Structure 1
């Protein structure tokens, strides 16, 4: 589950996920972004950022290791959004993610962000950060696997 939800996404994360799943608009997607461990801003500062450009405009940097690239999840990659009526909540999930042969140069990783991208080619200023997940790892040339919680990456209650 998320370590925190960005303030700009509060009350919206399930709907943004649903929009991608339904293809509204057709080229919308979730984007998985990894933040470098060096110069990472505190959660209290990060959660107030309104776009991915805002997140990366401060002291916080995106990972730059060889082998790292943002992951893009389209409608076909996501499960339907179904409320859990027995527990009065909605859990949303993404598949586990793998980066192949991520090299050490570029430093360690600190956090993974799940973001909403409205259309292909959207600038970072239009990408909405939804959730942040602690992900402390030091790449060493091997594969890096992000294993998502079996209950999902986010829970709306």
Structure 2
């Protein structure tokens, strides 16, 4: 589960996830973005940011390690949204993400799950959904973000 949900996505995460899964629009995707440890703003500051550009406009920076790139998850990577009517919630799942041979340099603090409306969208159009603490010191080995089996987000 997330450490926090961005205010802009409250009430929208399930909708945006479903849009990616159903291809509306066809090149929409979820994007995983790693944030550097140095200069990271507090959760209270970050959760008020409305776009990925906003997140990266303050002292918070994206990781820059060799071997790191944003992970793009398309419809084929996501599961169909099925409400749990017994427990009265919806869990949204993601596959584990692996970055191969990430070199030392920038220590990581968080991984964000964001909604990208289309291929080539600027950071100012990418909506941050959730933030997950992910303190890691890359050392040349693979970095794997394992998502909680119940999902990266629960709408209840």
| Offset at residue 58 of structure 1 (A) | 0.5
| Offset at residue 102 of structure 1 (A) | 0.4
Post-superposition CA distance 1:1-28 (Å, at most 9, x none): 0000000000000000000000000000
**2-side partners of 1:77 and 1:142: how far apart?**
24
Name the residue aligned to 1:139.
138
**2-side partners of 1:74 and 1:140: how far apart?**
28
**2-side partners of 1:113 and 1:65: how far apart?**
16
- Is the counterpart of residue 7 in structure 1 residue 7 in structure 2? yes
Unmatched 5+ residue regions in structure 2?
Answer: none
CA RMSD, Structure 1 to Structure 2 (Å): 0.4
1:14-33 superposed matches below 5 A: 14-33=14-33
- List 4+ stretches of structure 1 deviating above 3 A: none
**2-side partners of 1:113 and 1:139: how far apart?**
17
Post-superposition CA distance 1:68-121 (Å, at most 9, x none): 00000000100000000110000001100000000002x210000000000000
Name the residue aligned to 2:76.
76
Name the residue aligned to 1:90.
90
**2-side partners of 1:102 and 1:153: how far apart?**
23
**2-side partners of 1:63 and 1:85: how far apart?**
39
Count residues with an aligned counterpart: 156
| Offset at residue 122 of structure 1 (A) | 0.2
When normalised by structure 1's length, the TM-score is 0.99
**2-side partners of 1:101 and 1:25: how far apart?**
33
Unmatched 5+ residue regions in structure 1?
Answer: none
Post-superposition CA distance 1:40-65 (Å, at most 9, x none): 00000000000000000000000000
- Is the counterpart of residue 119 in structure 1 residue 84 in structure 2? no
